[in-house]
Amino acid sequence: MTEGRSFDAPIFIVNPAAGRRRGRDSSRLIEQITARFPTAAIRLTERAGQAEALARSYAPESVWVVAVGGDGTVSEVARGLVGGQAMMGVVPVGSGNDFARMLGLSGQLATALEQLASAQASDCDVGQAMIEHDDGTTTRHQFVNSLGLGFEAVVADSAAQARVFSGFWRYLAAALRHLPFYRSPAMTLRYENTVIAEPQFLVAIGNGRWAGGGFMLTPNAVLDDGWLELTRAEALPLWRLLTILPRVFGGRHLECAGVHADKVQAISIDCPDGCMVHADGEVIARMACQIRVELLPAALRVLR
């Protein structure tokens, strides 16, 4: 039996609302899971944060805990399992599924379940951010896929509130809506022996390559290489940004002047006027003044 495999009692944490799924669709989803994994324990979530709490209760055990949902559900389950013995699986049924792309998982449910059945456990790095807010409070957040500052966070916030479109199209519509009016905040980035003190249009820190349902912001990211991928864009004029945007879909924006990439294990970012920050698509700060990001190497075991 492959290391980390537990067919006896895998736990599936299911977000019934993922992908704007209706109740009858959830029933069909559960039927397909139990048909492939007859001894599976199914745990349905009803509110934000519940998936993380459920995952944390299983973290000390040598079992499979499978996130069934979109990137939000995956992020919650991952945070609950960080540092534990349990292995995380993913069945992508959300509208974005950016982390699932990194695992090579199919968007077809039946195929994804078959992939899970033959999966092997492997290490996965995790990112951790300490944020000082403009009111003086400090919070800590972990992310398994991506963290973004500036324009990327504004788009994530707008897309989360949108009631039209889904997945990639929702993020693209949000990006086009805010692009003409966005003003790049002043930032000071410090990592290794580098100091950059100038406004930044966006800063993306990726453990995975994709964000926003398919934007390849950090195309060189690898889940288990002991690095986080940094992509930043300077405060470029609108016409330049419009020419760069189509290149992001295929990760070709790194070829453009004013766009930079690097690898980091730790980075500090000061935003004296405050900026918005998201982690795995969820806004975690609206006015962050100081952000400290560090890598937690091999902090999670994932099935792939």
Q: What gap in Å lies between CA 134 and CA 266, rounded to an integer? A: 22
Q: What is the pLDDT along the chain (304 residues), one digit of tens a residue?
A: 344 444 568 999 999 988 655 455 788 999 999 999 999 999 999 999 999 999 999 999 999 999 999 999 999 999 999 999 999 999 999 888 999 999 999 999 999 999 999 999 999 999 999 999 999 999 999 999 999 999 999 999 999 888 778 788 999 999 999 999 999 999 999 999 999 999 999 999 999 999 998 999 999 999 999 999 999 999 999 999 999 999 999 999 999 999 999 999 999 999 999 999 999 999 999 999 999 999 999 999 999 9
Q: What gap in Å lies between CA 95 and CA 213, rounded to an integer? A: 7
Q: What gap in Å lies between CA 168 and CA 159, rounded to an integer? A: 10
Q: ∠ CA(165), CA(76), CA(29), 5° rounding?
A: 60
Q: What gap in Å lies between CA 195 and CA 199, rounded to an integer? A: 13
| 78: nearest Cα among 104, 51, 101, 117 | 51
Contact predicate 125/179, CB 8 Å: no
Fold of the 126-298 domain:
Tumour Suppressor Smad4 (2.60.200)
Q: What is the DSSP letter of 185?
A: P
Contact predicate 176/168, CB 8 Å: no
The residue written with tokens 């992939």 in the block is 115
Q: What pLDDT score does 3 carry? A: 44
Contact predicate 51/78, CB 8 Å: no
Q: What pLDDT score does 163 carry? A: 77
Question: What beta strand segments (E) does 30-79 contain?
Answer: 41-44, 64-69
11-119 CATH: 3.40.50.10330
User: What is the residue extent of each domain of the chain?
Assistant: 11-119, 126-298
Instruction: State the Cα torsion 250-255-257-258 to the nearest 10°.
Output: 50
Q: What pLDDT score does 283 carry? A: 97
H-run or E-run covering 201: strand 200-206
Phi/psi of residue 203, each to 5°? -130, 120
Contact predicate 205/229, CB 8 Å: yes
Contacts of 118 (CB under 8 A, 6+ apart): none
Q: What gap in Å lies between CA 115 and CA 12, rounded to an integer? A: 15
Q: ∠ CA(97), CA(146), CA(170), 5° rounding?
A: 50
Q: What is the DSSP letter of 166?
A: -
